[in-house]
Amino acid sequence: MPDQTNEIRYVSTRGTAPSLGFEDVMLTGLARDGGLYVPDAWPRIAPSEIGALSGLSYAEVATRIMKPYIGSDIPESEFEGLVEAAYATFSHSAVAPLVELAPNQWVLELFHGPTLAFKDVAMQLLARLMDRALTKRGRRATIVGATSGDTGGAAIEAFAGLKAIEIFILHPHGRVSDVQRRQMTSCDAENVHNIAVEGTFDDCQALVKALFNDLERRDRLSLAGVNSINWARIMAQTVYYFTSAVALGAPERTVSFCVPTGNFGDVFAGYAASRMGLPVGRLVIATNTNDILARTLKTGRYEPKDVVATSSPSMDIQVSSNFERLIFEAAGRDGDRVCTLMKALADDGNFTLAESELTAMSDLFLSEAVNEKDVGETIGSVARETGYVCDPHTAVGIAAARRVARREEPMVTLATAHPAKFPDAVAAATGSSPGMPERLQQRLGAEEHYDVIANDYDTLTEFIESRTRAIQEPAT
């Protein structure tokens, strides 16, 4: 028997779902007790191993950083091949290049994938890992996901045409940008289904959550999730924290990151990198006008308000799902405590963190909210001062980073979308439209395919059940 004692298992933030291995966690998404899966212990990468990443390709670093999370579920050489293929879809040879705006002020470009948003980094890998896992098991799955804009396009691009997977993507009708909608709806693959819900992103997310908590249906449809709560996505996102910090002098040097944040997946990956041993100075949670996380970090009180539409729609979120993972950590990995807080949120519409929990978070995290006026001014001033043109999401990050940067320490702002995805906001701020990459131009002209449905659970389930080819017949 192989020695399995060092393998990572994954446990739920709510403490009662069974612990699972990597592939099961990836195929499951949300835990059956409503919680999110996290590794039972953080793998440590020694300083010498971090130093040894210097000079390696992105795919090589990715393989090394993710290996402990995957354990023996995938043979190493096969995993290497999947990682190589995933990052070969990126148009920049560095995959995630760093750009210097000013001394110690950096931008990490995560938008060189097929849909020009950082979601591609995780989704390109996730699709390959899921297809492999399902095919190996002789199974099919129904993927249902909610998107505030970029996840949907990235998921559709990554999963289109895969035989083992039927994919349904919900987006808030009329609340994603024209480019974002067309990126999703211009796909004509048979296994892709776009659903425009008459509601907000939070409504879409609530529908998907309800579906995952409907355990009988979840089994019958063989549901799998690809939203940012999927552990494999967080795992894939830890990689660029390593590549960029190493390029800037880690492990000898400490590097801080500023992350345009919505569902807290990307910045939680930074937390994971820190727990793995990367010397991360501070993690700045940059929010737009939808500032629930900035308010929570300042006051301890987590209280969703109405979602306000902004120029950075992928961050127009008030219920930040992955924040539950940080609460679990800050509460000393106490699943009962997480359940208590989540119940308060469901019953009373808010909860308040304990002093000790808030202190634990404040060790590493701080948060800045950036209003619409500052977003526009930042796009304009960065372009004038440095010649660098950024999109509104990245501008939220740069504005927040400039407020809190310390002169002596590198601060890396994650650039999460290509400016060409938000031409109107960029033109308004700089006076000229960003150039549109050919890849994007081709897609936007194609015919659109989507259905509009009411914000209603039964309507959604009927829609999915009548279309998926992944229904599990009861065993005979």
Ligand X SMILES: *Cc1c(COP(=O)(O)O)cnc(C)c1O
- The residues annotated with a catalytic role in the active site are 119
Residue from 23, 109, 150, 357 in contact with ligand X (CB under 6 A): 150
Taking the C-alpha atoms of residue 436 and residue 419, their distance in angstroms, rounded to an integer, is 9
Minimum separation from the CB atom of position 151 to ligand X (A): 6
Tokens describing residue 31: 């835990």
Among the candidate windows 203-211, 255-263, 377-385, 401-409, which touches ligand X by CB under 6 A?
A: 255-263
Residues of this chain, 392-411, that bind ligand X according to CB under 6 A: 393
User: How far, in Å, CA of 395 to CA of 380, rounded?
Assistant: 9
Q: Length of the chain, please?
A: 476
Binding range to ligand X, per CB under 6 A, among 117-125, 131-139, 289-297, 349-357: 117-125
Q: For tokens 């590198």, what's the residue?
A: 410
- Give the binding-site size for ligand X (rule: CB under 6 A): 17
Rounded Cα gap, residues 375 and 342, in angstroms: 32
Quick one: which of 99, 382, 416, 422 has its CA closest to 286? 416
**C-beta atoms surrounding 428 within 10 Å:** 15
Name the one range near ligand X by CB under 6 A: 61-69, 191-199, 263-271, 272-280.
263-271
Per-position x/- string for 214-243, each x denoting binding to ligand X as judged by CB under 6 A, each - no binding: --------------x---------------
Structure tokens at 15: 């403490």
Residue 34 neighbours by CB under 8 Å, 6+ apart: 14, 209, 213, 342
For ligand X, which residue of 42, 264, 271, 351 counts as binding (CB under 6 A)? 264
Cα gap 231→22, rounded to integer Å: 9
Whole-number minimum distance, CB 65 to ligand X, in Å? 18
Q: Is 314 in the site for ligand X (CB under 6 A)?
A: yes
Judged by CB under 6 A, which of 123, 395, 417, 420 binds ligand X? 417
The one among 120, 266, 291, 329 contacting ligand X by CB under 6 A: 266
By CB under 6 A, name the one of 14, 112, 119, 282 that touches ligand X: 119
Q: With contact defined as beta carbons under 8 Å apart, do 388 and 107 qualify?
A: yes
Is-contact 135 441, C-beta < 8 A?
A: no
289 is a site residue for ligand X (CB under 6 A) = no
What are the Cα distances from residue 132, in Å, to 62, 127, 140, 157, 192? 18, 8, 11, 17, 19
290 binds ligand X (CB under 6 A): no
- Residue that has been written with the tokens 């996840």 in this structure: 151
Binder to ligand X among 315, 358, 369, 464 (CB under 6 A)?
315
Minimum CB–partner distance for residue 446 and ligand X (Å): 21
Stretch that binds ligand X, among 23-31, 46-54, 57-65, 115-123 (CB under 6 A): 115-123
Residues that bind ligand X (CB under 6 A): 117-119, 150, 228, 260-266, 314-315, 393, 416-417
